[in-house]
Structure 1
């Protein structure tokens, strides 16, 4: 036998609509209809404001990320570094927290540069490794990948939607709270009238 959805509260969507006061019910009072209209208005406001703003912030973030990509790719290039000695010692004589190696690599002017690099597995004197350097020949990180630009744009769009939704949810929460208080007052007034009429089932 198929069970009725009424006893179980209906579908999840119906329960959400009921909690938000947006389902149709002939027994609802004026305050309930006002709350329903406010909720619908706030929802339409969110749908009208959030998507355009999210698209704009995503586009702005993507453009900024693309510019950063192009700038870093133009200012950085790869060279081959050769290990000259292993183990890093600071100028004060204290060992670095992370082990390092001394290496040399071609500089921007073609002359070899010498410096300290983080060590890697099986790093021995004479070992080679490709590193990224800037225009001055100083070691740096690899250029910004395009995947990071896309991810940042998606995060910007999501943050914009949340930023738009939060104040709207706060406004609806305040409206809901005020409507609940008004409903309580109406219920108390109804009970008072029933007490005065002498047929209050609570007595």
Structure 2
């Protein structure tokens, strides 16, 4: 199949063979393009800012506290202080929140740690155990990634709707062409004489 040269803005040029459906499709393509870009940018920006603000709030509100092991950690203690993640075990720790209420939770500690050993835990403003907050650069990367996914998802909606409308227009054009062909096609076999 041979394709001719690409003509820029061919949908907008005057052409006596252009039908109403072709003009509608030109506007649909333009509208879908604008909606896709705008929806993607707005959703991506809004979600990215929301995620980054939420993570910044966590960095401000979450605080480290010193907790104590409630009992001896399972396993045997190793002699060196640089314990790998594989040599750490889950153990029960207890701490007192800023309001004086007692709390407990599970954290990873070196195997064989003695009961009462100090362990750092991160807590929210109500004293509940949380994970360590992400750094500013980690928050920025996470916000960009989540914002990018939101942008792609939001942009997909008008894009898919536009594809559906264009498919409907194409079916309508084919039906019109079939109707015209059935009307004029038989005339081609006639001879004048």
Give the TM-score range, shorter chain. 0.5 to 0.7
- 2:60 is aligned with 1:70: yes
CA 1:48 to 1:28, structure 2 compared with 1: closer, same or farther past 3 Å? farther
Structure 1 unaligned blocks of 5 or more = 1-5, 89-98
Are 2:126 and 1:131 aligned? Answer: no
* Ranges in structure 2 where 5+ consecutive residues have no aligned partner: 76-88
SS in 2 for 1:132: strand
Deviates more, 1:121-130 or 1:164-173: 121-130
2:46 pairs with 1:56? yes
**What is the deviation of 1:172?**
1.0
TM-score calculated relative to the size of structure 1: 0.57
Q: 1:155: how far off?
A: 4.1
SS at match of 2:66: strand
| Partners of 2:72 and 2:112 within 8 A in 1 | no
> Relative contact order, CA 8 A, sep 6+: which one is greater?
2
Report 1:27-106 matches (<5 A): 29-30=18-19, 31-72=21-62, 76-79=63-66, 81=68, 85-87=72-74, 100-101=90-91
Mean CA deviation greater in 42-51 or 116-125: 116-125
RMSD: 4.5
Corresponding pairs, count: 171
TM-superposed deviation, 1:27: 9.2
> Which whole-Å deviations, capped at 9, do the CAs of 1:33-67 have from their partners, x for residues lacking one?
42122111221233344324432332233222211
Give distance in 2, aligned partners of 1:116 and 1:50. Answer: 41
Asked if 1:146 is matched to 2:151, the reply is no
For normalisation by structure 2, the TM-score amounts to 0.59
